[in-house]
């Protein structure tokens, strides 16, 4: 399955990059395929592995912050694999031109 998540510290000021960097570090070390976007992190894998990763990220943020807002979106499709890149490509293929950069 493919999962997008974002973890937002509430009440730690307006600039969040220093906190987000700690999350990226955990994701990067997890070994799961992932992609950072401007709005979150997309990972691919099995439910338990992904949820364990998100839990670790969420509670790392809670060490810095008393209130954390975490958003998770799961797209789980039978037999679908390598979808972080594939889903963008499938849309482009039907459209007949490349728009991703």
Which candidate, 83, 88, 87, 84, places its Cα nearest to that of 101? Answer: 88
**Cβ distance 7 to 61 under 8 Å?**
yes
Least Å from the CB of residue 45 to a second copy:
13
Least Å from the CB of residue 4 to a second copy:
4
Least Å from the CB of residue 11 to a second copy:
4
Q: Which residues bind a second copy (CB under 8 A)?
A: 2, 4, 8, 10-18, 20-21, 24-25, 28, 35-40, 42, 47, 51, 55, 58-59, 62, 66-78, 83-88, 90-95, 99-101
For residues 7 and 68, what is the distance between their CA atoms, to the nearest angstrom? 7
Q: Nearer Cβ to a second copy, position 45 or 75?
A: 75
Q: Nearer Cβ to a second copy, position 45 or 94?
A: 94
Q: Which residues contact 30 (CB under 8 A, 6 or more apart)?
A: 43, 49, 53
């Amino acid at each position: 399955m493919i999962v997008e998540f974002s973890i937002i510290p509430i009440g730690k000021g307006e600039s969040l990059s220093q906190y987000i960097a700690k999350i990226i570090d955990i994701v990067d070390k997890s070994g799961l395929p992932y992609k950072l976007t401007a709005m979150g992190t997309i990972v691919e894998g099995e439910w338990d592995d992904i949820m364990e990763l998100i839990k670790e990220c969420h509670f790392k943020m809670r060490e810095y912050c008393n209130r954390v807002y975490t958003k998770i979106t799961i797209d789980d499709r039978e037999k679908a694999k390598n979808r972080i890149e594939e889903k963008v490509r499938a849309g482009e293929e039907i459209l007949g031109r490349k728009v991703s950069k």
